[in-house]
Amino acid sequence: MAEHFKPETPDQVKDAMAWAIAEEIPLEVIGGGSKRSLGRPSNAETVLELSALKGITLYEAEELVLSAGPGTLLSEIEATLAESRQQLAFEPPDYGPLLGGPAQAGTLGGMIACNLSGPRRIQAGAARDHFLGFGAVSGRGEAFKSGGRVVKNVTGYDLSKLLCGSWGTLGAMTDLTVKVLPVAEKTWTVLVLGLDLETAGQAMTAALKSPYEVSGAASLPEKLAAMSKTSYVAEAAGGVTAIRIEGPGPSVEYRVAALRKQLSAFGETEELHSHNSREFWRELRDVLPFAAADDRRCVWKISVAPTAGPTLAGRLTESLGGDAFLDWGGGLVWLAVDAPRDGAADTVRGAVDAVGGHATLIRAPEPVRAAVPVFHPSAAGVAALSKRVKENFDPRGLLNPGRMYAEF
């Protein structure tokens, strides 16, 4: 039977890696394993589980910094931050329910390794923008670190960026440091009702070009809006376009009023206050419109220029059937299609390549994820460079081989 290691110290991670190198045994590196069905299926049978490297080791609210082991539950970190009215500003999503698993099972290490960010991505940046430093063990069996615990640091290459979004293929992280930020006093949302995709795109663009500091801009068609637990959204009887405004109380009130006035040119407006806003944006963040228990369709996450999103979403749902909604001001298209054989990958990628961007197959049966590239194939030069980077961290190809690309 294949081994399953669960080291409790960074030294034990190093030992396990040294053994894997000597025996030439590839490792499937996981945190808590909540995203195992996301990405290309691993080629490794032996598991290196980092969930025992857990716990917050440093949290200084006034310095805006937190360090923790990779296995620390995100829910624990968020609860700790909430006590000081702080948060991870990139709004890490919980894809548990979307992937058919439990909610709140994700770890800090997993979230950083996958570089996942929610609706606030457009304003606050991605996970990678908040990842300050780490310690890790490379596929060479060497412990190495990069970055630090201060937000402003240009000392040496920024390897944090490389590790973030590398899906465990460059190193097994043993500690991580992230930047944290205050929670806004107030979170309100302006809803514009009854817009078609194209008009919704124009309304979101207008809001994002305004001086009102929008922290989320999304649009749901009527069918998906009807699934919302927020009654204003569910009962809108039409598409719902949502613009989130956060900040100090008086500022939010002013900006929401100003924005409603500006956006009334597009359609009828409504507003959600803090409680409803939080619920609604959590639904979007976690892609709950596609997370119903009986929804087994393939789900794509497509990143394009914001103005390209509405047309792309319209074209793809027209040709493939299925449903789509927009986040990131139109720049993020969530698409669910009933295509169990290949996820309609050629059609989706062809349409994305025509406008520039990338499409990730977030949910699909395992055989599809093994046969179809889960991550958007890079141009030849970039792919070759990425392969050389991988070889310089993990020359024997022992860390999560095949997890990102079949070739490495």
Partner 1 sequence: MKMPEPDRDIIARRLEIAAALRAIVPGEGVIVEENELRPYESDGLTAYRQLPMIVVLPETTQQVSEVLRYCHENGVKVVPRGAGTSLSGGALPLEDGILLGMAKFNRILDVDFDNRCAVVQPGVTNLAISTAVSDDDFYYAPDPSSQIACTIGGNIAENSGGVHCLKYGLTTNNVLGLELVLIDGEVIRIGGPHLDAEGYDLLGVLTGSEGLLGVVTEVTVRLLRKPETARAVLVGFPTSEDAGACVAGVIGAGIIPGGMEMMDRPAIHAAEDFVHAGYPLDVEALLIVELDGPETEVDYLIGRVEEIAKANKAVTVRVSQDEDERTRFWAGRKAAFPAVGRISPDYYCMDGTIPRGKLPIVLTRMNELSRKYGLRVANVFHAGDGNLHPLILYDANEPGELEKAEDFGSDILRLCVEVGGVLTGEHGVGVEKRDLMPAMFSEDDLKQQQRVKCAFDPDNLLNPGKVFPTLHRCAELGRMHIHGGQLPFPDIPRF
Interacting positions 98-157 with partner 1 (CB under 8 A)? 115, 117, 121-122, 125-126, 128-129, 138, 140-146, 148-157
What is the Cα–Cα distance from 305 to 397, expressed in whole angstroms?
34
H or E element in which residue 191 lies: strand 186-193
Residues 343-402 that bind partner 1 (CB under 8 A): 356-358, 360, 375-379, 381-383, 385-386, 388-393, 395-396
Cα 239 versus chain centre, distance: 24
**Nearer to partner 1 among residue 307 and residue 347 (C-beta):** 307
Site string for partner 1, 202-241 (x = CB under 8 A): ---x--xxxxxx----------------------------
The neighbour count for residue 338, using CB atoms within 10 Å, is 13
* Residues recorded for the chain: 408
**Nearer to partner 1 among residue 157 and residue 223 (C-beta):** 157
Cα 271 versus chain centre, distance: 27
Residues 35-54 that bind partner 1 (CB under 8 A): 52
**Nearer to partner 1 among residue 3 and residue 295 (C-beta):** 3
Q: Using the rule CB under 8 A, which residue among 34, 42, 72, 166 binds partner 1?
A: 166
**Nearer to partner 1 among residue 248 and residue 321 (C-beta):** 248
**Nearer to partner 1 among residue 61 and residue 226 (C-beta):** 61
Residues 237-296 that bind partner 1 (CB under 8 A): 247-251, 253-255, 258
Q: Using the rule CB under 8 A, which residue among 43, 80, 262, 307 binds partner 1?
A: 307
16 is a contact residue toward partner 1 (CB under 8 A): yes
Site string for partner 1, 53-82 (x = CB under 8 A): -------xxxxxx-----------------
Closest approach, Cβ 296 to partner 1, in A, equals 25
Residue labelled with tokens 């500091």: 213
Count of H-run helices and E-run strands, the chain: 14, 18
What is the Cα–Cα distance from 259 to 216, expressed in whole angstroms?
13
Q: How many residues bind partner 1 (CB under 8 A)?
A: 113
Q: Tell me the two tokens of residue 341.
A: 């054989």
What is the Cα–Cα distance from 85 to 61, expressed in whole angstroms?
9
**Nearer to partner 1 among residue 63 and residue 366 (C-beta):** 63
Closest approach, Cβ 231 to partner 1, in A, equals 30
The neighbour count for residue 54, using CB atoms within 10 Å, is 20
Which DSSP string corresponds to 308-372? GHHHHHHHHHHHH-SEEEEEGGGTEEEEEE--TTTTTHHHHHHHHHHHSEEEEEEE--HHHHHHS
Q: Which amino acid is located at 33 in the chain? A: G
Closest approach, Cβ 11 to partner 1, in A, equals 9
**Nearer to partner 1 among residue 54 and residue 232 (C-beta):** 54
